[in-house]
Amino acid sequence: MKMTLIETVLFSLATGSYGWAHGIHEFRPPLPGDSRSPCPGLNALSNHGWLPRSGKDIDLPAFQSAIAGAYNYEPTSMDGFFQLALNFNLSTTGNQSTFNLFDLARHDEIEFDGSLSRNDIYFGDNVHFDHTIWATVAKNLGLYDTLGSEMNQYVTVESAAKACAARAADAKRVNPSFNSSVMQVMGNPGTTALYLVTLWDENAGAAPKSWVRALFEEERIPYLEGYKVPKVPRTMDDVNKMTNRMSAVEVKV
């Protein structure tokens, strides 16, 4: 079958939208030499080609269209984060308008202690997914316990807030150089709010556990598990509101 460009685009939209393939944005794990970050949200964008698959030389226009295309964030809603990476002089690309994903890992700039799925720099690696760290967080989120009620399929604001607080408390206990920096104090609940808002299921009022697993464990956008780009664009206002909802949860650690 020979198709014009527009037919090809329409065809791939119609056939690939909700599957593993998702058109030209199929999931492909990084190759050796590709650049990845401590951020599962950005790594997933590169693993699906919304950002360059190399994870390198990311500029603002590419960044804006990636967060909008994949997650339907307002294109400019995260410009502040992008600018932060440049302002901290994290870029190693040789071009002060771009960065590589790995550049974001420099400790005590944007990266901080007590992450959900990474260990602290004190223990050697703050970038890669850490099975041991995640096992405890996943258990607290009940990620592998999905039997029973419909609501048991979801991570709620309450369970997410508690798992986040428990991880930070564990990290403080075991890491003698734990830094309760401003970034850590704000970023810890902030990144939990980010994954909740990004993976939010409007009908359930919670985030499906299978989507949370895909994002953290495979750095994959959960198209296979039914994720669809939300219809209404999301903003940092949504993320801030989510952080406020989290802080209303009583946590015992």
Ligand X SMILES: *[C@@H]1O[C@H](CO)[C@@H](O)[C@H](O)[C@H]1NC(C)=O
Interface with ligand X in residues 2-61 (CB under 6 A): 59
CB 42 within 8 A of CB 54: no
Indicate which of ligand HEM, ligand X, none lies near residue 42 (CB less than 5 to 8 Å, by partner kind).
Answer: ligand HEM
Q: Is 40 in the site for ligand HEM (CB under 6 A)?
A: yes
Indicate which of ligand HEM, ligand X, none lies near residue 95 (CB less than 5 to 8 Å, by partner kind).
Answer: ligand X
Q: Is 50 in the site for ligand HEM (CB under 6 A)?
A: no
CB 24 within 8 A of CB 11: no
Between CA 5 and CA 43, with CA 23 as vertex, the angle to 5 degrees is: 130
Which of 110, 155, 165, 166 lies at the binding interface for ligand HEM (CB under 6 A)?
110
CA distance 27 to 44: 8
CA distance 24 to 234: 23
- Number of residues that make up the chain: 253
Which of 191, 211, 219, 238 lies at the binding interface for ligand HEM (CB under 6 A)?
191
Interface with ligand X in residues 84-103 (CB under 6 A): 88-89, 95, 97-98
CA distance 143 to 48: 24
Q: Which residues bind ligand HEM (CB under 6 A)?
A: 37-42, 67, 71, 78, 81-82, 85, 104, 110-112, 115-118, 187, 191, 194-195, 198
